[in-house]
Structure 1
Amino acid sequence: MLLAINANNTNTKFAVFDGERIVGEWRQHTTALRTGDEHAVWLFQLMAIEKIDPASITATIIGSVVPQATFNLRRLCTRYFNSEPMVLGEPGMNYGIEVKGAGAGADRICNTVGAGVMFPQQPMIVVDFGTATTFDVVDEQGAYCGGVIAPGINLSIEALVNATALLPRIVVERPKQVIGTNTVACMHSGVFWGYVGLIEGIVARIKAEFGRPMKVISTGGLAPVFDGSTGGVIEQVIPDITMRGLFEIWRRNGGRL
């Protein structure tokens, strides 16, 4: 089995693949302070719940945009799974796609690879609701063409709360109506419908600039919150597309179970 780890700025996701099938999937808050031993204690308990034997893990791969956390994740793999992990971004890594431009993080590369595998020969926009809200553009050849980075929803809420004296912290949810009748309802409307407008507007501009039809999918922790609220702009929510991309990168670099 393969243990795939995707470390983002807010959460780190762990997935166990049995062949191409995900048999276990978990999240934890990302922190550079958590040791490899602490990762193991937490992960082994969750594996036990799913009846996954840690000894069955024979390979590991890490995609990380938090370099400070990568050391302890690598330590988890080498000590507790007796596996030297593939780490995205290391010299000689083969993504199997063209990356146009510079600075694409591991998560965006994985989204691109996952999209190309799941929807071959189809131009796409992958909207990822993470710490940042990103829009990744994938062409017919599966190449990463660039995209857009906007502040994430929870990041925007934190900025709003921290910069004001009386506005409370809220959770993201779809309001029953646009016009709020109290402070919290007004905030819900502004955050939710503001991001719907951002999604619709940016997708429309990307499509106009790209110049041909594109499929639009979403992923990330808050993607289900916006499902069905964008007037059909987002066609499908695919929660595990990043992990699928990570698996495919592992396979393209000689990974075998």
Structure 2
Amino acid sequence: MLLAIEQGNTNTLFAVHDGATWIAQWRAATDSSRTADEYAVWLSQLLNMAGLQFGVLDACIISSVVPQSIFNLRNLSRRYFHVEPLVIGENAELGIPVRITKPAEAGADRLVNAIGAHIVYPGDLIVIDSGTATTFDVVAADGGLEGCAIAPGINLSMEALHAAAAKLPRVAIQRPEHVVGKDTVEAMQAGVFWGYIGLIEGLIARIKAEWARPMTVIGTGGVASLFHGATSAIDHFDPDLTIRGMLEIHRRNPAKASL
């Protein structure tokens, strides 16, 4: 079985694939100081609750945008699963061209998303990943990563309002009924939420105009569901985009994988 570890700046996903389907998924808050042993204690309990154990895991793939965590995640795989993990950006062959000026700067999440989108959706794509940052990746019809626009994530923007303005409270992100709020909380929620819808729609329009070819827009990421139904600019919401891409990369590296 394959253990896929997808680590973002905020959350880390652990998912188990049995060769046919994803049979278990768990999330933990990302903590770059967490050791391999700490991960193992936490993960062993969750595996046990799912009727699994370390011995059934014979392959591991890691996608992380937190470089200081990769050492401990790699040690988790080596020490407890006794396998050398595939690490996106290090020893994993992607099978797609990366057509940006400095390919090494492309985040692992962006590379994985490009592959996860390309194998399902035909033609040229815009992949929007809404997390700590909001990224807009252009993926060509041949799967190549062409470039990106990066904006602060919606939660980061709300937190910045609270941190920088003494009288503005910390509030939860949600879709307000009205654009014009009747109190401070409603006003903040309306400004940030509908402002992000404007950001998304505006950048999609500009990317399409610059690309000058038809494009399909895919939304994914931890907070993408907030925007579902709020804009027609996103054609598909796909929460499994990242782990689908990781599974595909695993399959493209048969010499380094056992699944």
| TM value normalised by structure 2 | 0.95
Alignment of 1:28-67 (within 5 A): 28-67=28-67
Alignment of 1:137-156 (within 5 A): 137-156=138-157
Deviation at 1:223, TM superposition (A): 0.7
Tell me how far apart the structure 1 counterparts of residues 239 and 73 of structure 2 sit (CA, whole Å): 22
User: What stretches of structure 1 move > 4 A for 4+ residues in a row?
Assistant: none
SS of 2:6's partner is strand
Tell me how far apart the structure 2 counterparts of residues 109 and 154 of structure 1 sit (CA, whole Å): 23
Tell me how far apart the structure 1 counterparts of residues 234 and 50 of structure 2 sit (CA, whole Å): 32
In the TM superposition, what whole-angstrom CA distance separates every residue of 1:136-166 from its partner, at most 9, and x where no partner exists?
A: 1111101111111000111111211110111
Deviation at 1:20, TM superposition (A): 4.3
In the TM superposition, what whole-angstrom CA distance separates every residue of 1:29-63 from its partner, at most 9, and x where no partner exists?
A: 11111111111111122222222332111000111
Alignment of 1:190-201 (within 5 A): 190-201=191-202
Alignment of 1:196-207 (within 5 A): 196-207=197-208
Tell me how far apart the structure 1 counterparts of residues 239 and 52 of structure 2 sit (CA, whole Å): 22
Tell me how far apart the structure 2 counterparts of residues 147 and 136 of structure 1 sit (CA, whole Å): 4
Tell me how far apart the structure 2 counterparts of residues 41 and 107 of structure 1 sit (CA, whole Å): 26
Tell me how far apart the structure 2 counterparts of residues 88 and 6 of structure 1 sit (CA, whole Å): 10
For the pair 1:183 / 2:184, whether they are aligned, the reply is yes
Deviation at 1:11, TM superposition (A): 1.2
Contact 2:77-2:83 within 8 A present in 1 as well: yes
Alignment of 1:14-93 (within 5 A): 14-90=14-90, 93=92
Match of 1:247 in 2: 247
Match of 1:236 in 2: 236
In the TM superposition, what whole-angstrom CA distance separates every residue of 1:84-139 from its partner, at most 9, and x where no partner exists?
A: 11111115x311000011221000000001011112x4211111011100011111
Contact 2:58-2:258 within 8 A present in 1 as well: no
Tell me how far apart the structure 1 counterparts of residues 175 and 133 of structure 2 sit (CA, whole Å): 19
Tell me how far apart the structure 2 counterparts of residues 134 and 48 of structure 1 sit (CA, whole Å): 36
SS of 2:28's partner is strand
SS of 2:192's partner is helix
Q: CA RMSD in A?
A: 1.2
Tell me how far apart the structure 1 counterparts of residues 205 and 247 of structure 2 sit (CA, whole Å): 31
Question: How many residue pairs align between the two structures?
Answer: 254
Structure 2: stretches of 5+ with no match in the other structure = none
Match of 2:225 in 1: 224
Match of 1:107 in 2: 109
Match of 1:96 in 2: 95
Structure 1: stretches of 5+ with no match in the other structure = none
Tell me how far apart the structure 2 counterparts of residues 241 and 22 of structure 1 sit (CA, whole Å): 13
| TM value normalised by structure 1 | 0.95
Deviation at 1:3, TM superposition (A): 0.4
Contact 2:162-2:169 within 8 A present in 1 as well: yes
Tell me how far apart the structure 1 counterparts of residues 20 and 240 of structure 2 sit (CA, whole Å): 12
Which deviates more, 12-21 or 195-204? Answer: 12-21
Contact 2:4-2:14 within 8 A present in 1 as well: yes
SS of 2:94's partner is coil
Tell me how far apart the structure 1 counterparts of residues 98 and 233 of structure 2 sit (CA, whole Å): 25
